[in-house]
Amino acid sequence: MTSNTLKVLGMTTAMAAAFTGVAQAQTVDMDALIAAAKAEGTLTTIALPHDWCNYGAVIEGFKAKYGLEVNELNPNAGSADELEAIKANKDNTGPQAPDVIDVGLSFGPAAKAEGLIQPYKVSTWDTIPDSAKDAEGYWYGDYYGVLAIAVNKDVITDASPTSFADLKDPKYANMVAIPGDPRTGNSSMMSLYAAGTAMGGKGGAETATAGIAYLKELKTAGNFVDVGGSAQNFAQGTTPIMMDWDYNVLAMRDKLAGNPPMDIVIPSDGVIAGVYVQAISAYAPHPNAAKLWMEYLYSDEGQLGWLSGYCHPIRFNDMVARGVIPADLMAKLPPAEAYEKAIFPTLDEQSAAKAVVAETWATEMGAN
């Protein structure tokens, strides 16, 4: 391009930006950002297991592309851990302080309220759906998945169950499990919420109550196994029907490599999607590396990296419309029709559901 064309483009973009008001998608000066990030040299991440949304490949891609080091803290951290890590490291600029976090949807506003994160809008900001980002740019959705059911075909040799209602069948005695405690883990909470939606709940507290009732019914019938579903318990046979995010069970299927063979079912009666959000720590020791990381994640390359881990990147619809998703990658995902009915619980619905679970889970499920 000639420099004149560049100038014209630059001016029109600037004018467009001036007119779009709230969503000020200023063009990011990538070269300056890259230089500043390289000067900082490292990025510190937290809670990014390599097998979750193929973060392993995403991190490697980032390192290879920009030559930065990546310090990976505690891959097992929960969303609350990540906020706690920022708080504990407020005055610490050593390698223990996380630069960027990846947390559940409800933790975005919580982090903003506690002043733990700083705003930043990536260059592809406009293509992120409004419902999945903070208007001021403090947090922004990164990927989503839907609640699926994994079935161990060594244990369940005939047709797999296809819905939550199916799981009530007595032939599944001592087989159904959720990943852990709904009061601790997001995926367990959403399993409960999806079951509640399947049982007719219309959202928020009502769905949570329906979900708890459903699990209680399974427990009384003897179908529910109290052990947390994990790859190990699944393969060993103690939790042969396991609920979890679709990207987790798809990654598990790859890792187990047919030992045991498994089916992945998106339940027909309740499809719940969960969004995770990215944010930059307000006390990040390497803010420019953090911003470059965000640019990478929200570029087509980063988003496809997540897709290879079976997570639906937040710009999925935009990328499909532009036709940039390779066909073989699309083929590995479950059929798109299953996702059409996906419901995205809002922040309010989630907090109402959590309140119900906190109150009634222990008494209903006899944990005491």
Q: Are strands 117-118 and 273-281 parallel, antiparallel or unpaired?
A: antiparallel
Residue 177 phi, psi dihedral angles, 5° rounding: -140, 155
Residue 357 near residue 188, CB atoms below 8 Å: no
The minimum distance between CB 93 and another protein, in angstroms, equals 5
- Rule CB under 8 A: choose which of 70, 156, 213, 256 binds another protein: 256
The minimum distance between CB 349 and another protein, in angstroms, equals 14
Classify burial at 301, counting beta carbons within 10 Å of its beta carbon; exposed 0-12, middle 13-18, buried 19 or more. middle
Name the one range near another protein by CB under 8 A: 11-19, 122-130, 226-234, 310-318. 226-234
* Listed residue (231, 250, 258, 234) closest to 176, CA to CA: 234
Rounded Cα distance, 108 and 112, in Å: 6
Task: Collect all residues with Cβ–Cβ distance below 8 Å to 51 and sequence separation of at least 6.
Answer: 251, 255, 309
Terminal Cα-to-Cα distance of the chain (whole angstroms): 70
Positions in 187-216 near another protein (CB under 8 A): 188-189
- Rule CB under 8 A: choose which of 69, 84, 130, 136 binds another protein: 84
Cβ distance to another protein smaller for residue 34 or 218: 218
- Rule CB under 8 A: choose which of 37, 54, 59, 79 binds another protein: 79
Cβ distance to another protein smaller for residue 231 or 297: 231
When asked if residue 236 is in the footprint of another protein (CB under 8 A), the reply is: yes
In sequence order, the β-bridge partners of residue 42 are: 69
CA 115 from centre of chain: 22
The minimum distance between CB 17 and another protein, in angstroms, equals 36
- Rule CB under 8 A: choose which of 100, 150, 195, 231 binds another protein: 231
Cβ distance to another protein smaller for residue 15 or 227: 227
When asked if residue 347 is in the footprint of another protein (CB under 8 A), the reply is: no
When asked if residue 170 is in the footprint of another protein (CB under 8 A), the reply is: no
When asked if residue 92 is in the footprint of another protein (CB under 8 A), the reply is: yes
Positions in 257-276 near another protein (CB under 8 A): 258-260
Residue 306 near residue 53, CB atoms below 8 Å: yes
- Rule CB under 8 A: choose which of 184, 200, 317, 324 binds another protein: 184
Residue 307 near residue 329, CB atoms below 8 Å: yes
Positions in 13-42 near another protein (CB under 8 A): none
- Rule CB under 8 A: choose which of 54, 197, 223, 248 binds another protein: 248
Rg (CA), the chain: 22
Rounded Cα distance, 232 and 313, in Å: 28
| Size of the residue set binding another protein (CB under 8 A) | 73
Rounded Cα distance, 28 and 14, in Å: 11
Name the one range near another protein by CB under 8 A: 118-126, 222-230, 286-294, 336-344. 222-230
